[in-house]
């Protein structure tokens, strides 16, 4: 195995890593907003349901959640079928390995994002809403024209952190043998006794995170024209 | 009495407000005529802010009636469910200047002043016909008001680039841009360094000279005496004394008011 072959094979794994990252982000960003609205709801049962859900998702390891989503349906019984068989029969759908990981990631990250959104929204002084109201603006005008950008500015640092963590969390997919970047390197260690690919993939993560950091810094700079 | 004084623009009748079991306002009644300036004084916790918040719809009173310009905008006995448009129209009869400014940090002074007017204009006929002209008209109005409060050179500054006094003047301009019938101030100088209060008081005086109807909650007694046509002294949620500033300040009837005023002459 030369450098070229190793690189090609790692790129295969890196592709899975990137897809998992991108799809998780694309789905969890909006889903998190929905969750945060749930946990800020004035309807108490929904609020408590959401709080319990947040507690469970944040209180258990993501790796465990991935394992449960993948193996769970094959072990739980509905009548004399397993849940997996039941789902295939009636809905035609059962998660494959990648989909299981993706599902667990989206839920997990949406929950973390929702807590960041909630913190951001609740940190905006009521005076901003009241100023909007006395000026005759509607609630949604006040939210979208006044509050939102302030929230974005405030949540940018914790969101950046969370998104960088996501890059590295993608490596958890290997617990159910999804061939992402770390798994790809591990295979080479197992098959050819090569150690250096493990260090080599470290560079992949570093570059990926480095580029994201530059992007976040640019965004932060863009929003630095105002304070508050 | 000249003709102007014959037109009550604000009538508050038997207003009451409780937070849970705590009665914060009790049977508040007064009338204010167009173009007059009313100052509301009273010790901390007497309900001054709550009164302003009830009249400006930030808080919902439990009892009584509020009539502005002859139109009942609140009646506890006859609650009405207004459409969003109706609510906005009633809301805009009053303007409110907050103690803590509450400027929108991501907008420049001019944008702060014109934002609400621009959003409201979107529903108007003029806007649908000629968008550019409508926006330009609002912009010109905003600039004019900013120059009226002495900030023509600060139009493109963001709030953080302005002093407290300048920020408060922007917030006054912002309220004025919506052309309220009555402008309310809740301790407009309390968040400011003493040397900056003067510029705000000057702006309010200047507004008074243009016959803007105003209600000012303040702890600046000299100013209240100077600028007001009427004074209300509140104590524990009721109007303890009201009347002409000369009389209220020189010859207070109530012992509480005498005690209150003494604190300011020390
Ligand atoms: N949202 C609220 N919930 C419960 N109690 C409140 C609320 N707002 C005000 N109060 C109470 O109502 C009373 C009157 O408060 P208010 O703010 O109107 O007084 P104030 O005259 O403006 O005082 P200050 O001079 O300190 O501004 C106070 O006892 C206060 O604790
Ligand atoms: Mg107050």
Interatomic CA distance for residues B249 and A24, integer angstroms: 68
Interatomic CA distance for residues A76 and A78, integer angstroms: 7
| pLDDT value for B5 | 47
Across residues B39-52, what is the average pLDDT?
94
Superfamily of domain B1-36+47-88+213-266: P-loop containing nucleotide triphosphate hydrolases (3.40.50.300)
B-chain CB neighbours of A225 within 8 Å are: 106, 158
Across residues B241-262, what is the average pLDDT?
88
| pLDDT value for B4 | 46
- pLDDT tens digits, one per residue of A102-153: 999 999 999 999 999 999 999 999 999 999 999 999 999 999 999 999 999 9
B264 CB less than 6 Å from ligand 1?
A: no
| pLDDT value for A125 | 96
**Quick check: B3 pLDDT over 50?**
no
Q: Do B106 and A228 touch (CB under 8 A)?
A: yes
Domains and CATH numbers, chain A: 3-169+178-222 (1.10.3720.10)
| pLDDT value for A84 | 75
- pLDDT tens digits, one per residue of B165-176: 999 999 999 999
Which residue is it, tokens 């623009």? B9
pTM as predicted: 0.88
B19 CB less than 6 Å from ligand 1?
A: yes
**Burial code of A11-29, b = ≥16 C-beta within 10 A, e = fewer?**
eebbebbbebbeebbebbe
| pLDDT value for B6 | 63
Mutate to test the pocket of ligand 1, among B47, B59, B100, B260 (most ligand atoms within 8 A of CB): B47
Q: Please report the residues numbered 128 through 157 in chain B whose beta carbons come closer than 8 angstroms to any beta carbon of chain A.
A: none
Which residue in B58, B66, B82 sits closest to B16, CA to CA? B66
* A128, A136, A145: residue with CB nearest B120: A136
**Ligand 1 nearest-atom number relative to CA B217:** 22
Interatomic CA distance for residues B118 and B111, integer angstroms: 9
Annotate chain B with three-state secondary structure.
CCHHHHCEEEEEEEEEEEECCEEEEEEEEEEEECCCEEEEEECCCCCHHHHHHHHCCCCCCCEEEEEECCEEEEECCCCCCCCHHHHHHHHCCEEEECCCCCCCCCCCHHHHHHHHHHHHHCCCHHHHHCHHHHHHHHHHHHHHHHHHCCCHHHCCCCHHHCCHHHHHHHHHHHHHCCCCCEEEEECCCCCCCHHHHHHHHHHHHHHHHCCCEEEEECCCHHHHHHHCCEEEEEECCEEEEEECHHHHHHCCCCHHHHHHHHHHHC
Q: Are strands B182-186 and B213-217 parallel, antiparallel or unpaired?
A: parallel
| Confidence band for B266, pLDDT divided at 50, 70 and 90 | low
B-chain CB neighbours of A145 within 8 Å are: 115, 119
| Averaged pLDDT of chain B | 91
Classify residue A160 as left (phi > 0), alpha (psi -120 to 50) or beta. alpha
Of A41-45, A74-78, B11-15, B224-228, the poorest mean pLDDT is in A74-78
Give me ligand 1 centre to Cα B52, in Å. 11
- pLDDT tens digits, one per residue of A140-192: 999 999 999 999 999 999 999 999 999 999 999 998 888 889 998 998 899 88
**Quick check: A211 pLDDT over 90?**
yes
* Token couple for B182: 């009555």
| pLDDT value for B194 | 85
Across residues B195-200, what is the average pLDDT?
88
Extents of the domains making up chain B:
1-36+47-88+213-266
**Quick check: B159 pLDDT over 90?**
yes
């Amino acid at each position: 195995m030369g450098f070229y072959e190793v690189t090609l094979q790692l790129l295969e794994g890196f592709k899975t890593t990137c897809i998992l990252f991108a799809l998780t982000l694309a789905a969890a960003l909006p889903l998190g907003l929905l969750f945060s609205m749930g946990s800020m709801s004035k309807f108490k049962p929904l609020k408590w349901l959401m709080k319990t859900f947040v507690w469970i998702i944040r209180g258990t390891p993501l790796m465990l959640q991935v394992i449960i989503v993948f193996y769970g349906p094959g072990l739980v019984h509905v009548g004399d079928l397993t849940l997996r068989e039941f789902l295939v029969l009636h809905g035609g759908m059962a998660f494959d390995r990648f989909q299981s990981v993706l599902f667990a990631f989206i839920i997990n990250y949406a929950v973390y994002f929702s807590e960041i959104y909630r913190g951001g929204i609740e940190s905006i002084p009521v005076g901003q809403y009241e100023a909007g109201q006395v000026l005759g603006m509607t609630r949604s005008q006040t939210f979208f024209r006044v509050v939102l950008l302030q929230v974005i500015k405030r949540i940018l640092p914790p969101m950046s952190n969370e998104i960088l963590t996501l890059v590295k969390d993608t490596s958890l997919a290997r617990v159910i043998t999804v061939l992402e970047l770390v798994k790809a390197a591990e295979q080479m260690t197992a098959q050819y006794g090569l150690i250096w690919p493990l260090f080599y993939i470290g560079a992949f993560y570093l570059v990926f995170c480095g580029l994201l950091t530059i992007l976040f810094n640019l965004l932060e700079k863009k929003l630095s024209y105002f304070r508050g | 009495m000249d003709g102007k004084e014959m037109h009550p623009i604000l009538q508050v009748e038997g207003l009451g407000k409780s937070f849970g079991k705590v009665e914060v306002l009790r049977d508040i009644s007064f009338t204010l005529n167009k173009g007059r300036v009313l100052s509301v004084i009273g010790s901390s916790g007497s309900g001054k802010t709550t009164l302003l918040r009830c009249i400006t719809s930030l808080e919902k009173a439990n009892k009584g009636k509020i009539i502005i310009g002859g139109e009942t905008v609140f009646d506890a006995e006859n609650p009405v469910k207004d459409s969003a448009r109706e609510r906005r129209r009633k809301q805009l009869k009053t303007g409110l200047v907050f103690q803590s400014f509450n400027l929108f940090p991501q907008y420049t002074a001019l944008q702060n002043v014109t934002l609400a007017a621009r959003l409201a204009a979107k529903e108007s006929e003029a806007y649908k016909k000629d968008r550019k002209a409508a926006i330009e008209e609002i912009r010109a109005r905003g600039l004019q008001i900013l120059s009226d409060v002495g900030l023509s050179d600060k139009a493109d500054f963001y709030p953080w680039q302005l002093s407290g006094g300048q920020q408060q003047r922007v917030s006054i301009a912002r309220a004025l841009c919506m052309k309220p019938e009555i402008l309310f101030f809740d301790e407009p100088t309390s968040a400011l360094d003493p040397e900056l209060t003067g510029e705000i008081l000057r702006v309010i005086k200047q507004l008074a000279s243009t016959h803007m109807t105003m209600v000012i909650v303040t702890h600046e007694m000299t100013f209240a005496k100077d600028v007001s046509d009427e004074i209300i002294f509140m104590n524990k949620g009721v109007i303890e004394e009201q009347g002409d500033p000369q009389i209220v300040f020189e010859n207070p009837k109530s012992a509480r008011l005498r005690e209150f005023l003494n604190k300011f002459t020390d």
